[in-house]
Amino acid sequence: MWAVSREEADRKGDFHEKTKYPGKVMVWLGACTEGLTTPAISENRIMDAEVYINEVFPIALECGDRMLGSDWTYQQDGARPHTHRLTQEWCAENFPDLISKERWPPDSPDLFPLNYSLWNELGQCMNWNRITTKATLVEEIKRSVAKVDKKTIFNFILDFTIRLPSPRAFAGDLKLCFRSYQTKQTRVTGISNDVELHARTA
């Protein structure tokens, strides 16, 4: 936790104990200038290509169409479930547009607002004192997604455009991910990502 004073640390939730083998869940979340998507939470399974396609993509597609209409692009990082052949095929067949694995840096955490900011924002919104079991962890994640400030999300997605290399580095007309934000150079949107969240549980 970064804090300039004891008071700021207290406002951010102070410190939280973590057991050696904490309860954990895998969480997928998408972000765009319209806000955060519904989270996809896997409690007992590793996020492999099968889980990603069957559990994440229906949520991503529904949220994308509901939040953005029919003109949006799905963008993800280079994790193995994301670059799997079946994953890429499903995306190409079902999403309005996709930045394929060949057109995106394989290791680019600094390009993802979820990685460098929004996961932290979600964590700050969570009441960790409520979490005592895996079930309460899941409930708190779902509750806290709605609490992340929409202006903050918008600003982080806008910052995403600054972190991108020149569109000329990509072939063709570039439209990036989840929600269109109109700029002079390109229509830019958001991101999707997944992460493990750990909590001290009984």
Q: What is the pLDDT of residues 90-129, one digit of tens each?
A: 999 999 988 888 877 666 666 666 666 788 888 889 998 8
- Cα–Cα distances in angstroms (integers) from residue 166 to residues 31, 70, 158, 191, in the given order: 22, 26, 15, 18
**12 in any annotated domain:** no
**132 in any annotated domain:** yes
Q: Is residue 161 scored above 50 in pLDDT?
A: yes
How many distinct structural domains can be found in the chain?
1
CB 202 within 8 A of CB 96: no
CATH number of the domain that 25 lies in? 3.30.420.10
**40 in any annotated domain:** yes
Q: Is residue 139 scored above 90 in pLDDT?
A: yes
Q: Is residue 72 scored above 50 in pLDDT?
A: yes
pLDDT recorded at residue 68: 87
pLDDT recorded at residue 103: 77
Q: What's the pLDDT tens digit per position in 16-43? A: 555 665 677 888 888 888 899 999 988 8
Listed ranges 14-18, 24-28, 60-64, 188-192; the one with the highest mean pLDDT: 60-64
pLDDT averaged over every residue in the chain: 75
CB 176 within 8 A of CB 189: yes
Could you tell me the pLDDT band of residue 55, with boundaries at 50, 70 and 90?
A: very high
User: What is the spatial distance between Cα 199 and Cα 202, in angstroms, rounded to a whole number?
Assistant: 10
Q: Is residue 89 scored above 70 in pLDDT?
A: yes
pLDDT recorded at residue 162: 66
**182 in any annotated domain:** no
Residue 54: domain span: 17-162+188-199
